[in-house]
Amino acid sequence: MEIFNEREDHLFALVLAIPNYKLFPKDKTDLRFWETPEGNPVALRAWFFPGDNWGQEIVYPKGLAAKIARQTGAGVLAAPPVETEAELTEAPVTEINNAGEEQPVAQERNALAEIAAAPPAEPYVVAEAPSQAPEAPGPLPSTASPYFLLAAAGILSTMAGLGLNWRGARAR
């Protein structure tokens, strides 16, 4: 994962990340953080783009992963420190538990990381938008009938008649 500035002309960081899945996508960018003790900086756990079930789970350098694991009490993905992008794609991913012990990551997660790192077989083809504007819709059919108005007029006139009759009977 490459992190650039907003103009995309300055690379801030090149981070190893593996695919992470969630059941319900959100309409906005979803950033998941590790719970760290007060006074410590927050640590990003996963990043999901709007509307996507698949996101990126951050893999930390081993020393930092061990520190986050101790603070959070959960397993944190780790990789050895690397210098180049080629080393980054070849780095073995392990999980460090809260006791600082390294455990191999499940084979499925490593396979997903390899799939995500591989370039697509063919370039994506984006369909072009139609060149002409869509036609304006025609007039809607008239489906209303006067029967509702006739019924409403009948009910109102009946109520008015009953009201006048009641008022006249009370005046006598």
pLDDT value at 37 more than 50 = yes
- 55 vs 82 pLDDT, higher one: 55
pTM higher than 0.75, yes or no? no
Q: What is the pLDDT of residue 111?
A: 47
Q: Is residue 132 part of a domain?
A: no
Using CA atoms of 15, 82, 87, 110 in order, give the dihedral in degrees to the nearest 10.
-60
Question: 23 is in which domain, residue-wise?
Answer: 2-117
Give me the half-sphere count of Cα atoms (radius 13 Å) on the Cβ side of residue 132. Answer: 3
pLDDT tens per residue across span 81-137: 777 777 766 777 888 887 878 877 765 454 444 545 555 555 555 556 556 767 778
- 127 vs 50 pLDDT, higher one: 50
Number of structural domains (the chain) is 1
Mean pLDDT of the chain: 77
Q: What is the pLDDT of residue 130?
A: 58
Q: Is residue 159 part of a domain?
A: no
Q: Is residue 164 part of a domain?
A: no
